Copies of this chain bind each other. A is one copy, B any other.
C-alpha cells in the first residue's frame, strides 16, 4: 500500500464521495460515504448495546460560559471557534453590505454571541452532571459534529466532523476499567473491518511552550490512548479512535460528586466517523461494492 497526502483526497473527490466547497477541510459527503458512516456507527451501537448508556444529542453550539469555564482556551486556543453576529442598526448595515461588496473586513461590525462551537463531542454533557451522581455513576452516548480551526488540504484534517462519543463518570476504578474495555473493543472492531489498527499512547495538541510540558506529562501518565490506522502516512498513522482519561479535571470544574461524597472522575472516548470511512476507502478502495466479502458482510449483514 502506497501512502501520500494527495491521492486519497483526489480519489475521494473523483469518485464523488466528497464534494469540495472551496474552503480547505470543509466538504460535502455523498450518499455512499454517508451509508458507510451510518453502518459503521451502527456497529458501534451494537457493541455498546449491553452497557445501557443514556443517549443525548446536543446542538453544535455550546454556551460560551460553559466553554470558558472548561479551560479549553488555556490549552487549545488555536483550535477553538467562537461565534459572532451582527447586532447593529440600519446605518451599520449599510456599512456592512458595502464592505462585503468591496471585499473588505467587517470584523469590527460583528459582536460575540453567547455561544461557541463545540470543540470536542463530550463538552456539552459535563455541566449536566453537576451535583451528586447516582450509585455506580453514569454513562452517556452521543454523536456530535465537532469543530477545529485547522484549515488543511489533508482530507483527514477537517474543520468539522462527526464523533461517536461515550462519556463515563464515576469512581476512578470504574472509569479506568470502562476505558480499557473500550480500547480493546475499538481495536477489535477496526481490525475486523480489515484495517491494520494499532493502539498508541498519545497526547493532545496543547498550545505553546507550556503546552509541550503538558503533552509530555499526559504521555508519561498514559492519560490518552489512540487507535491509529495508516491513512495518509505509514510513519504517522491517523487516529480514528481516541480515549481520554481526565482524572478529576472536569469533576472539579463542574463539581461532580460520586454517591459516596467523593469527587468523581471522568473519561471519554470517540470514534472519528469520517476518519474511519476514509481509512476504509483507503484500504479497500473507493467503491464499497468491491470491498472484501468479510468487510461487506459486517457492514451490510
Residues of A within 8 A of B (CB): 19, 21-24, 26-31, 33-34, 54-66, 68, 73-74, 77-88, 90, 93, 96-97, 100, 105, 107, 110-115, 117, 124-125, 127-128, 145, 147, 149, 151, 158-161, 207-209
Are A158 and B93 interface neighbours, CB within 8 A? no
A100 surroundings in chain B (CB, below 8 A)? 68, 73
For A59, the closest partner residue in chain B by CB is B160
Closest CB-CB distance, A67 to chain B, in whole Å? 10
Closest CB-CB distance, A92 to chain B, in whole Å? 9
A96 surroundings in chain B (CB, below 8 A)? 73, 77
Q: Known pairs A78-B87, A81-B113. 6 more at Cβ < 8 A?
A: A26-B115, A27-B59, A59-B159, A74-B97, A78-B86, A115-B159
- From known contacts A82-B84, A90-B208, A124-B21, infer whether A113 and B30 are also in contact, taking CB-CB under 8 Å: no
Closest CB-CB distance, A16 to chain B, in whole Å? 10
SS of A interface (majority) = mixed
A31 surroundings in chain B (CB, below 8 A)? 54-56
Are A117 and B83 interface neighbours, CB within 8 A? yes
Are A26 and B160 interface neighbours, CB within 8 A? no
For A97, the closest partner residue in chain B by CB is B74
* A87 CA to B63 CA, complexed, in Å: 22
Residue from B26, B56, B85 within 8 A of A81 (CB atoms): B85
* A80 CA to B60 CA, complexed, in Å: 15
Are A86 and B90 interface neighbours, CB within 8 A? no
